[in-house]
Chain A
Amino acid sequence: MRLPILSITFAILALAPALRPAMAEAGGDWVSYRDAYRAMVVFEKYGGAKSLLQQHLQVLPRVPGVDAVGLQLVVLGKTSQGRFPLDATLRTLFPLARAAYDDNAELQLSRPVGPFTVRPQISIALRPDNSYDSEDLRQGCEQALGYARHLALFGARRCAGVRFVFAKGGPAAPVTLHGGTGTPLAAVPGVPFAGDRDAGFPVVTYRFAGAERVQLDTATMPLAITPLFN
């Protein structure tokens, strides 16, 4: 019995690298669509309040400094294919497609950037008029906190504010606060999301102050509005 077992072991080890060129010929690195689907559909099936939230799939390249311009997420399956543009934070709306799930499709990028992973990313929904009521932002933050508690036993306890993340090269003070002090809020360089590597995005942090209700206007549409927890 020992010889056949050894033969099978060597056969397995020989097969392992033999499977890799097939992957490389498909056009670069990849992640499993099915794994991404199963991570992303958690939010879709979440029954709590989420009307002010949105979910994206974010690409996390292993090597920092990837240029997002023109980069697309590509779904490659036997019967399902599609291309989805990534924004400057390397996020895109994720297509929840049963066909791609059943295909056990690959997710690739439109040009090689090396190994990458993906993760769901929750943010507060953007408004087309670039005008935000602080109460809506507070509610959006509370909804995000509720979802975070749904996913983790220990974690954030309360909402402290929100962060407006803008594209690079915009105005120095991209958020104006109406009511209260009425002053423009300056941006400082920061990462769009916790765990990101590029800390060069203009970020304006607005902290909730008691029951005061104010209006916040943005000079341009933010890339994202993220909740800030304590």
Chain B
Amino acid sequence: MNKLTAVAMLSFLALLSQAASAQTPVPDPMPDGSGDMYAGLGVLSAPRYAGADERRQRLLPVLQGQWSNGLFVSGMSAGLHLSSLPLLEYGPLVSLHPGRDDGGEGAGAVGIARLQGVGNLPNMPQALVQYNARVLAEGNRLNGLPSIPRRLQGGAFLNLHVAPDLRLTSSALYGAGSGHNGATLKVGLQAMALAPAPHHTVTLEAELALANRQYNQEFFGIDNDQSLRSGNPLYAAHGGWRDARLGARWHWTFTPSWMLVSSFDVTRQLGSTRTSPLVERTTGVSVSTALAFRF
């Protein structure tokens, strides 16, 4: 398989990926013209959407690829390492922001029905009426809200190694939401490659995310029309903090080619997203495990 085919295939898989990882792999050099790729499949258990009380389990494609020219794909993100200094990493970054419908975040199987809210119930087919009534009874706060489409965001990343295994990370992305104008800025700290036992490595990370008003209003705000359709109270979200995340990633390598990749993340909503009527729990936990092949 030549490099272009591999990039095309991995990019396609990235589009399918539910893994919202925006991590940038460390750009260790490699032989010219070569790559270092991981692909796998696992399961993810996470809140149905940011702030949801209800959890959802889904398949989790694992995807990471790096090439000697600096190109990388990691989960739903892709970028290009432009720096030649090992201490400093920077470059352009694109990332697919998951959409959201009344089924929750991402392209889950639940999100096939686009219900238009309480006022439209009499005009709906009976099956949808029953479905909507059930969802309302379960307290789905997304019911009646317009779907937010999946969007490709563009931006850049900047990382600095403050110690051999300690990395400050940052990324800025623009283009999320139906108006293509949602922007996020993430800053984080990663402690990499801790080795508690042979063939086990752990990466710890803490990350703060900020978002502009358009982003927070799109995902956490309720305007007048949405309030009427969904029954949620009016809510004007403003720009600023979005959330804080603490995470741990555990790699258990069985052979140089096979490994188990697991992660645990705790995310806490901050700022105006925390008091949004859509947020049922201000702290959400995500866990995942997947078998990956390195090639």
Contact = CB atoms under 8 A, between A and B. Distances in A.
- Chain A contact patch, size range: 35 or more
B3 interface: no
A38 B27 CA distance: 9
Contacts of B195: 117
A153 B163 contact: yes
Interface stretch (A27-35, A137-145, A179-187, A217-225): A27-35
Contact of B57 (A2, A19, A104): A2
Contacts of B86: 42, 150-151
Given A5-B43, A42-B28, A115-B198, A152 B163 contact: yes
Contacts, number: 98
Interface in B157-176: 160-164
B208 interface: no
Interface residues of B, number: 38
Interface stretch (B16-24, B136-144, B237-245, B247-255): B247-255
Interface string B84-116: 011100000000000000000000010000000
B264 to A, nearest CB: 15
B29 interface: yes
A12 B42 contact: yes
B254 A29 contact: no
B260 A8 contact: no
Interface string B187-227: 00000000101110000000000000000000000000000
A38 B198 contact: no
B250 to A, nearest CB: 12
16 contacts: A5-B58, A12-B260, A19-B254, A19-B258, A23-B254, A29-B198, A34-B256, A37-B30, A41-B28, A98-B31, A101-B34, A104-B256, A117-B195, A151-B86, A153-B163, A154-B162
Interface of A: 1-2, 5, 8-9, 12-13, 15-16, 19-20, 22-23, 29-30, 32-34, 37-39, 41-42, 45, 62, 96, 98, 101-102, 104-106, 115-117, 150-154
